Every structure is written in C-alpha cells, then in structure tokens.
Amino acid sequence: MSGFVFSEKPIRIERGEGTYLYDDSGTEYLDFGASYAVTPVGHCHPEVVSAAKDQLEELMFVQASYPNDARDACYSKLASVAPGDIENVWLCNSGTEANEAALKFARSATGRKKIVATQRAFHGRTMGSLAATWKQKYKKPFEPLAAGFETVPYGDGEALAEAVDEETAAVIVEPIQGEGGINAAPEGYLQAARETCDETGAALVFDEIQTGLGRTGEFWACEGEGVTPDILTSAKGLASGLPLGATLCKDWIAEDAGPHGSTFSGNPVVCAAAAATLDVLVEEDVPTHAAEMGEYLHEEIEAADLPIRDVRGRGLMTGIEVKRGSNRLLRDLALNHQVLALPAGRSVLRLLPPLVIDEEHVESVVGALAETMSASTES
C-alpha cells in the first residue's frame, strides 16, 4: 500500500545526519537536493532536535489566539532577520499557504483584485497560488482557478509596468525562479518592480520560499538587490523540515489585512524548531558560508569542463542546464554515485544542498557529475 500522488523513488530513506541520508540497507547518500531546500543547517541538527524535543515535553499545541513563549520567540526572531522595515509575521504550515495569505492580505489592504505574476513562476498548488503559477501541467487538471490573475514575461520591467495599474492589488515575483529553471532576475528588475508598485499603490510580494534563509548568500535574495518588498513569504527550511510557512508584512499591509487564520498556525513544537534553525543560521553566519561554497561549486563545475549548456544561480541555488534529459542523469547519480539532486524542468539539474556543505562535498558531487555525464555520452 502506498500513496497515490507521489511517484516513489526506489530508495527507502531511514535516517539523516548533516549532509547525508541513509537508506534501509545503510547506504549513505550525499544530499544535494535537501528535499527542495528544507534542511539549510543539515539533517537533524542537534540544536534543532533538542529545541523541538524540549518543547514537545512542555506543550505540543495550542491555537494561535493563546500566546506562548515558543511562538513569541519565533515571531521575534523572524522579525529580527526580515529585510528593511518588515516587522509583522503570520505563520502557517507551508509555502503555498504563505503565498495564499500574501495574496489575500494584498487584496484586503489595497481593496483591489488584480494580481500580476510572471511566466515560468511557481508559487504553490492551492487554488490561489496555483493561479499565479505558470506551468499548465500543474494548473489544467484543476481549472477553473481563482480569477483576476495576469502574467507577464519574467525579467521584463517594461512589460511589468504596462500590466500594473490602479486596479492591481499585488505583483508577486521570485527573485530567482526555482521550479522555472533557476532563472535569476536581471539586474535592476526587482528595483523596477518596486518603483512600479510605488507608482500604482500595488503591493510588491517577493516569494522567497526557495531563495530565502541564506540560500543565495544573503539571508534573503532581495537583500542582494537592495530592494524591500511589502510582503515576503518563506517556508521550506524555516523549521528544518517541520511544516512551517511565514508571511512577513510591512505595517500598511498588516494594519488593513482582512480576517485570515489557520488551525495549526504557529504550532509550538514547530516554532521551537524554527527559532533554533534561525539561531544557527545567524550565529554561524551560514549565508556567508553558502556564498563561499556556491562560488567554489561554480568554479569546480567550470574547471571540470562538463558537457553542459549553462550553469546559473547564486550561492547554493544552482541550476545546470544539460544537453540531454535531466531525469536519467538524476537516476544515475543516485543509484551509481549515491548523490541526490533535483530536476527543474526536463533539462535542468537543480542543486539545493544543505548550506553547511564543505569543499569535499562539492568535489564529490562535481566528480560524480563528470563520471555520469561521461558514461552517458559514451552510451
């Protein structure tokens, strides 16, 4: 008996530690996918595990209308690392819920309906965030979706300016597109989006669910461009794999946000794990380490002279565009070299490792890539 939604891989994972996962036979796998960036400080980091265990023994759950120390600490730590003048936090269970909240808050705060998203974007799988997602394979089975959404080419500031008007509630953008192929916003694009929203009164939403928490070498990718949104969404590695999403808002959004809620908003155990994760990221300056390892990874890929079309990304968010399909390459890396990675479309290999990897891990992965690609070329 198995689930019917996910296509299960032929590897049964039993435990994780640091940058490694282990299957039921004890085989060790170097995890360079981190299950879509959900383990920024590594698997089962002792400080995160300890915080969650301690909280589990004190209070497993109480609804968000009752204050408690674990949730307050999570609120405070998230606000302290938020970019610019963002200070308000709403917690949920996933990235798509964080984006749903962002879109609802933008509509209620502005009194407008129109949402402008971008081509190749991925914002989640619930009905609102799915309407802002580009790829038809995710959308078509569930249509009709939420109304009022319009898409423009990613990275085109002029097209964005033409689409955004006084009826626009929000513009939602990924600073670097993940599922869309690891596409970084062109220089000046995020600033152009900021200026367009300022001119029209629309809310600027940055989806940092995959790019945040140090992944790109800054705590938030938007900080690398010097642009602060009105709303920022986070999830993935926020609680080191326990389910948590967050919608961070400027005051003008929070003050006029409509009624919204979630039964499990700010679960104390998950909040304790998140607070510990944030502590490790800040105290060990993990974003700086991610920037250094990302640069080393790109240097090693270039030096290996791999048969690829392109390598792109920032920090430890890397996309390798290959000449043949990525699925076979991913399978061979896992089964023959015990390296786990991810796809980003049919032709892009996506590397989103724990941010605590070292040079030896980078060299192992690039070596495995070289051997796998060489074997594929010969076959």
Gap between the Cα atoms of 27 and 11, Å rounded: 10
95 is in an annotated binding site: yes
Annotated binding residue 210? yes
Catalytic residue among 32, 105, 122, 149: 122
Catalytic one of 77, 104, 114, 236: 236
Report the alpha-carbon distance of residue 237 to residue 94 in Å, rounded: 10
Q: Tell me: is residue 324 an annotated ligand-binding position.
A: no
- Residues in the chain, overall count: 379
Check the annotation: does 136 bind a ligand: no
CA 220 from chain centre, in angstroms, equals 10
Among this protein's residues, is 236 annotated catalytic?
yes
Say whether 122 counts as a known binding-site residue: yes
Residue 102 CA to chain centroid, in angstroms?
Answer: 15
- Is 264 annotated as ligand-binding? no
- Of 207, 219, 230, 250, the catalytic one is 207
Q: Is 305 exposed, middle or buried (0-12, 13-18, 19+ CB in 10 A)?
A: exposed
Q: What are phi and psi of 292, to 5 degrees?
A: -65, -45
Asked about 32 being catalytic, the answer comes back as: no
Query: Cα–Cα distance between 295 and 364 in angstroms, integer?
Result: 16
Environment class of 285 (CB within 10 Å of its CB; exposed 0-12, middle 13-18, buried 19+) = exposed
The answer to whether 228 is a known ligand-binding residue is no
> Is 125 annotated as ligand-binding?
yes
Give 118's contacts (C-beta < 8 A, 6+ positions apart).
134, 151, 152, 153, 154, 155, 172, 173, 174, 177
Strands (E), 253-352: 308-314, 317-322, 339-340, 342-343, 348-351
Q: Is 114 a catalytic residue?
A: no
Binding-site annotation: residue ranges for pyridoxal 5'-phosphate: 95-96, 122, 207-210, 263
Binding-site annotation: residue ranges for substrate: 125, 262
Binding-site annotation: residue ranges: 95-96, 122, 125, 207-210, 262-263
Which residues are known catalytic residues?
A: 122, 207, 236
